[in-house]
Amino acid sequence: MRPHSQTVKQKSSSDTEREFGGALGAVSITMFLPLTVLYLICVSRSPEASVFHWPPAAPVTEQLWDPLALLLLLAWIALHALLYLLPLGKVSEGLVLRDGTRLKYPINGFHALCITGVLLLLFMGLGAPLGCVFELLLPLAVCAIAASFLFSVCLYIRSFWVPAHALALGGNTGNPLYDFFIGRELNPRIGSFDLKYFCELRPGLIGWVVINLGMLMKEAELRGSPSLAMVLVNSFQLLYVSDALWNEEAVLTTMDIVHDGFGFMLVFGDLAWVPFTYSLQAAFLVVHPQSLSSLGAAAIIALNGLGYYIFRKSNSQKNQFRRDPSHPSVARLETIATATGKRLLMSGWWGFVRHPNYLGDLLMALAWSLPCGFSHLLPYFYVIYFTVLLIHREDRDERQCRAKYGLAWDTYCRRVPYRIIPYIY
Ligand code: NDP
């Protein structure tokens, strides 16, 4: 069979436009980030927990490979594929694609989280030692990274057999290294099973909270009960994951689903980076217990609450506006017309800064690190990395909005000059 994409004769400008530093950036990220995941896990369990200490003084028992880890990873992905296929929840349509069609997506991620919770309780009731996730963390990460590479290669190869309109505009540059990284096919599917949508919020995101729970159980095993810091980190992050899955439909309009192809960047991000680096605070607390005063805990809870409030309210306001601009909750907001027929919000949360949802997310990120104290940099890895990610994401989104909305976007930027933090950025 002849690969369809070879028949694409004319490339649009976005076909050749390169992000993330082009092919060199793509190769460097592909090599560097998996090693970073493994390094950070080693650092989190070393006595010094110093990101600047090489090699990290990990316990001698540390091992990279364990067949049990591979078995658990495969069982985990199979479980979530099964839960994805269960006829629970509603089915939603995505945005209109370039060929004028719309894909259907099952909105049952929150069901998957709840069923996973029940299954875990059952297993723990039967005596399954969830704390062993702590010992298996490194082999699990190795398997997730290997699976990400393998899966991305398969996705790259299969993308040569799909029609040209099914390719992501930005992932079709012709440079194999760059396209492998950024993703060629927009919505790879096996039948009605959408591989990108499945990976985006399920195995990795739910895996993250299960790893956290494993760390909590390990701490309880070692010290008799989990610490307040560990309970806070687990609760905050469980709230974040539950919120993402409760509002799963919103992912259908995100850059990841609408714009980006499904390549190594998203596969690795979803399956390895999120579960294994977002759980670093919990992993750190197992080896480096922290005492937290009630006042300190109350202040951190308030910060997380404030961040969550800004994050949720702003995201909901935009989603509501995009779904139904005449809804009473958004009908009175000031807006500006654009040449595309869509309007942009100019008041409310989106008149405060241009990305109020990122501001809320960053406040929460800080609240997740603070329970780990101030003695180490490692627990602040997430908030530092996330700031860089959101600044870069904001920049990408800004360029896409300027291309989409032209003059109207410039007017919006003049009216709302700050991007994420009022009067600062
Ligand atoms: P956003 O939800 O910020 O959406 C950006 C889009 O919103 C724009 O492309 C534009 O799309 C629309 N928009 C922008 N300004 C306006 C306006 N004034 N009025 C109406 N619509 C506007 O996108 P993200 O996917 O980046 O973020 C979604 C959430 O996910 C955020 O809360 C973010 O913090 C979070 N996130 C979390 C990550 C994590 O790892 N924890 C990673 C990435 C994101 P259009 O006009 O086409 O509708």
- pLDDT for position 5: 38
User: Is 260 touching ligand 1 by the criterion CB < 6 Å?
Assistant: no
CA 360 – ligand 1 centroid, Å: 12
* Alpha carbon distance 417, 425 (integer Å): 9
Rg (CA), the chain: 22
The Cα 380–Cα 372 span in angstroms is 9
Instruction: Tell which phi-psi region holds residue 348, choosing left (phi > 0), alpha (psi between -120 and 50) or beta.
Output: left
How high is the pLDDT of residue 1?
A: 39
Compute CA distances 339 → 14, 95, 259, 290, whole Å.
20, 19, 20, 55
pLDDT of 171: 86
* Gap from CA of 9 to ligand 1 centroid (Å): 33
What residues form DSSP beta bridges with 90?
Answer: 107
* Alpha carbon of 254 to ligand 1 centroid (Å): 6
> Nearest Cα to 253, choosing from 150, 356, 397?
397
pLDDT of amino acid 322? 87
Q: What pLDDT, on the 0 to 100 scale, is given for residue 255?
A: 84
Two tokens, residue 155: 């996705």
**What's residue 4's pLDDT?**
41
The pLDDT assigned to 121 comes to 95
Would the CB of 361 count as within 6 Å of ligand 1? yes
> Which residue owns the Cα nearest ligand 1 atom 45?
401
pLDDT for 14 equals: 47
Low-confidence ranges of the chain (pLDDT < 50): 1-15, 60
For residue 58, the model assigns a pLDDT of 57
Q: Which pair of structure tokens corresponds to residue 228?
A: 């307040």
What pLDDT, on a 0 to 100 scale, did the predictor assign at position 165?
Answer: 92
Ligand 1 touching residue 345 (CB < 6 A): yes
Residue 2 has a pLDDT of: 35
CA of 314 to the centre of ligand 1 (A): 10
Provide the b/e sequence for 103-135 (b: ≥16 CB within 10 Å): bebbbbbbbbbebbbeebeeeeeeeeebbebbb
Distance from the alpha carbon of residue 7 to the mean position of ligand 1, in angstroms: 34
Burial class of 177 by CB neighbour count within 10 A (0 to 12, 13 to 18, 19+): middle
Distance 228 CA to ligand 1 centre (A): 33
Protein residue with least CA distance to atom 3, ligand 1: 355
pLDDT for 106 equals 97
Structure tokens at 11: 């490339």
* Residues in a beta bridge with 91: 106
Q: Is the CB of 208 under 6 A from ligand 1?
A: no
Does ligand 1 have an atom closer than 6 angstroms to the CB of 318?
A: yes
